[in-house]
């Protein structure tokens, strides 16, 4: 029977690289992770050993053989179809490109298992740092990357069970802004169509709305719908709300994809005209006059990139948790309900 290459020759291990270079396993890991405090002599020995053993049969192998490390930062996003992530990636790239680095982007499809595979693949390809919009609820797994000298920065969703840098929007205040705006416009029957219930962005926006609406005698929690991550599921939620005997007079859409689904469903039912406010600022929101609660995505991405670069320069610095403010942009979609006397 003919054996494949993998069967004929087991992949060399990091321990074998360390032994050939005459260094400890930890030192070999640090050298291959690109840590700045590894001496030039040690780095050269480890890289030479890795090349001789053909350690890591992937795109990093040629870089190791030539004595160079990949000057790249990896970004893991949740869904390539969401324009929020393209704007985030652009901001990160704009920040790191003048520093001579490039951006590698991968998609987790909101799967914790796929995210884990992608993160380790980026690390194996000698990515200098990883920025992630994480689909995980427990981030202790990323300690393995940190141990290899690869900084990990959490963006849009904070780290859980891990000491790491993060940059997020003030989503709770965003929920307050949306709820207070609708209450001030005279609405009391307010629906909220939210993203996956496990997402910290959803939980914080929900909590912020509760801060305002729970004290207003509103029945808004009866109109709460969740797990509407895409356009079809948000349309289905909106369809059900419009079919109620007493439909909501106002709807809060939990993100830009949900907002699109809400607006598509309303367009198919022109007799229904609830006020609408969305989170995020898609390009078409201004054209259609839709009120939004939004944050500066460029600031979010650039700050995440700065945290990654700063961690590469000084791994002993204190971890930072940066919060970017959100703002309300009021437009014609949130007029007072017909017959309101407030």
Bridge partners, residue 277, by sequence: 252, 291
The secondary element (H helix, E strand) that includes residue 132 is strand 129-132
Contact of 134 with 113, CB cutoff 8 Å: no
Quote the DSSP letter at residue 280.
Answer: S
237 pLDDT band, cuts 50/70/90, is very high
Residue 5 pLDDT more than 80? no
- The CA distance from 158 to 274, in Å, is 33
Within 8 A by CB and 6+ apart from 37, the residues are 30
35 pLDDT band, cuts 50/70/90, is low
Residue 176 pLDDT more than 70? yes
Kindly state the average pLDDT of the residues 97-126.
Answer: 92
- The CA distance from 275 to 293, in Å, is 14
**What would the pLDDT profile of 184-220 be if each residue is shown by its tens digit?**
999 999 999 999 999 999 999 999 999 999 988 778 9
- The CA distance from 258 to 238, in Å, is 9
Q: Token digits for 337?
A: 């309900």
* CB-CB neighbours of 163 under 10 Å: 10
pLDDT of residue 338: 44
Residue 278 phi/psi, 5-degree rounding, is -120, 160
pLDDT of residue 272: 83
Instruction: Count H helices and E strands in the chain, helices first.
Output: 14, 12
Quote the DSSP letter at residue 274.
Answer: -
289: burial class by Cβ within 10 Å (0-12, 13-18, 19+)?
Answer: exposed
Q: Token digits for 19?
A: 């032994």
Residue 55 pLDDT more than 80? no
**Strand ranges of the sheet holding 72-77, from the earlier edge strand across to the other edge:** 102-107, 72-77, 129-132, 152-155, 165-169, 321-324
- The CA distance from 56 to 123, in Å, is 11
**Residue 191: HSE in the Cβ half-sphere, 13 Å Cα cutoff:** 25
Domains along the chain with CATH numbers? 5-65 (1.10.260.40), 72-169+297-324 (3.40.50.2300), 171-295+328-334 (3.40.50.2300)
Residue 336 pLDDT more than 80? no
Quick one: which of 287, 283, 293 has its CA closest to 326? Answer: 293
Residue 255 pLDDT more than 70? yes
**Which residue shows structure tokens 């990323």?**
142
């Amino acid at each position: 029977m003919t054996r494949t290459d993998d069967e004929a020759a087991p992949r060399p291990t990091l321990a074998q690289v360390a032994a050939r270079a005459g260094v400890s396993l930890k030192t070999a890991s640090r050298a291959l992770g690109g840590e700045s405090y590894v001496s030039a002599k040690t780095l050269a020995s480890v890289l030479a050993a890795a090349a001789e053993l053909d350690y890591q049969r992937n795109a990093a192998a040629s870089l190791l053989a030539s004595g160079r490390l990949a000057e790249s930062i990896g970004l893991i996003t949740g869904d390539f179809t969401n324009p929020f992530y393209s704007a985030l990636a652009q901001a990160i790239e704009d920040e790191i490109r003048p520093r001579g680095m490039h951006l590698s982007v991968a998609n987790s499809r909101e799967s914790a298992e796929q995210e884990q595979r992608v993160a380790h693949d980026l690390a194996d390809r000698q990515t200098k740092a990883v920025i992630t919009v994480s689909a995980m609820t427990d981030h202790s797994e990323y300690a393995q990357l940190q141990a290899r000298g690869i900084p990990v920065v959490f963006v849009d969703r904070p780290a859980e069970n891990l000491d790491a840098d993060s940059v997020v929007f003030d989503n709770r205040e965003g929920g307050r802004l949306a709820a207070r705006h609708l209450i001030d416009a005279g609405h009391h029957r307010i629906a909220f169509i939210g993203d996956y219930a496990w997402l910290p962005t959803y939980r914080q926006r929900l909590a912020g709305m509760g801060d305002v609406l729970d004290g207003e005698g509103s029945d808004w929690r009866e109109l709460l719908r969740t797990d509407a991550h895409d356009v079809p599921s948000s349309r289905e939620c909106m369809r059900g709300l419009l079919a109620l005997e007493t439909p909501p007079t106002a709807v809060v859409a939990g993100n830009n994809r949900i907002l699109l689904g809400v607006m598509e469903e309303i367009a198919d039912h022109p007799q229904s005209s609830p006020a609408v406010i969305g989170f995020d600022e898609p390009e078409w929101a201004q054209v259609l006059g839709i009120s939004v609660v939004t944050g500066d995505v460029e600031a979010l991405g650039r700050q995440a990139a700065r945290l990654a670069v700063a961690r590469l320069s000084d791994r002993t610095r204190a971890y930072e948790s940066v919060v970017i403010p959100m703002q309300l942009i009021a437009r014609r979609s949130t007029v007072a309900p017909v017959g309101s006397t407030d």
